[in-house]
Amino acid sequence: MKVQIIIRIILIHFTFCLYSCGKEKTTPDEDRPKEILTIPVVVHVINYSPDPFTISDQKIRSQIEVLNLDFRKKNPDHLNTPAEFFNLVADVGIEFSLATIDPNGNATTGIIRTESNLTGIDGQDLTGTTAIEDLRLYFTEKGGQDAWPSDKYLNIWIADYSNRLGELTLPGYANPPGSDPRIDGVVIEPRVFGTLEPLALNHEYGRTATHEIGHWLNLRHIYAGEKNCNSSDLVEDTPTQYGSYTGHPTHPQESCGSHDMFMNFMDYVADDAMYMFTTGQKERMHALFQPGGLRRQLFLNSSH
């Protein structure tokens, strides 16, 4: 009888170890979202016809892969997060997939290509007074491409935004929740999109799209502005900092009486120096999909 009891204890311990010993140790179970939202993406490639850029389907798909790593906390470099912030790193629970059905119910690759003399600046309201109809990048009849319904898709416009001397005028920008549906989405320069060449210096990991889609999901920059320690991003677990960081800063850096979280996706460091969203940022993004949220209908449409 004693031998049988001992054997049973050994079997129970072995079974428990099979279940638990191989589990991931870096992410507590409660951090895993109960429901994963997958957002269909349409990529509007508007190639600058006077001097065309190169962006293959493979390069575009590499960007989708980056987004799915970054927003699901599957990017290996999140392990570089300093110890004081490590428990804040969040699996946002949002994934992205190139659309397979267009607004008319037809099969699509999710990649639409046209040529035009327009550039990224043709989609940007520089004065705050430009009429939507004058932002030509978003209108097919004016040389751009019409947005697909923003309650069903994330629209990404790829448009030239470089002086072709190795410098970016602007790597990208976002039209955030509440924007006119005709411009709802993000605009990205082709040399910061994806992980395949051609790529601009410090933009080799596809994190510009991660940053701009963060804005599209209602996140703000984590910095408050020069010599300003008022909270600016409305997220409690991101320490307030004066200004943005660029390049490859070393931790710790301090500005407002605490260490700055410059490795957050919502700062401006080089792609390989940013690698985390926080739990508070995750909650702010998910609030968009709750009843009354500005992207509630997108959630409902994407859940079926």
Give SS3 for 260. Answer: coil
Query: For residue range 184-194, what is the model confidence (pLDDT) as tens digits?
Result: 999 999 999 99
Q: Which CA distances in Å does 298 have to 152, 153, 177, 212, 252?
A: 5, 7, 11, 18, 39
pLDDT at 166: 54
- Please state which of the ranges 30-39, 263-272, 287-296 shows the lowest mean pLDDT: 30-39
Cβ atoms within 10 Å, residue 128? 5
Instruction: Give the C-alpha distances (Å, rounded to integers) separating 149 from 35, 89, 184, 225, 273.
Output: 23, 32, 9, 35, 34
What domains are there in the chain, each with its CATH number? 36-221+281-302 (3.40.390.10)
| Long-range contact set of residues 80-84: C-beta below 8 Å, sequence gap at least 24 | 80/263, 80/275, 81/263, 81/275, 81/276, 82/251, 82/252, 82/259, 82/263, 84/259
- Between strands 111-116 and 154-159, the pairing is unpaired
Q: Which residues contact 300 (CB under 8 A, 6 or more apart)?
A: none
For the annotated catalytic residues, the residue numbers are: 212
Q: What is the pLDDT averaged over residues 96-125?
A: 97
Instruction: Confirm if 210 and 259 have CB atoms less than 8 A apart.
Output: no
Residue 188 one-letter amino acid: I
pLDDT tens digits, 218-259: 999 999 876 778 777 999 999 999 889 999 999 999 988 899
How many residues are present in the chain? 304
CA 234 to CA 141: how far, in whole Å? 39
**41 neighbors 156 (Cβ within 8 angstroms):** yes
Average pLDDT, the chain: 89
pLDDT given for residue 165 in this prediction: 54
* DSSP annotation of 190: G
| Global confidence as pTM | 0.88
Tokens at 85, concatenated: 């912030």
Q: Cα(first)–Cα(last) distance of the chain, in Å? A: 56
pLDDT at position 295 is 97
What is residue 173's predicted lDDT score, i.e. its pLDDT? 95
Q: What is the pLDDT of residues 4-52, one digit of tens each?
A: 444 443 443 443 343 334 434 444 444 555 689 999 999 999 999 999 9
Structure tokens at 57: 């389907």
Dist. CA 219–CA 28, nearest whole Å: 24
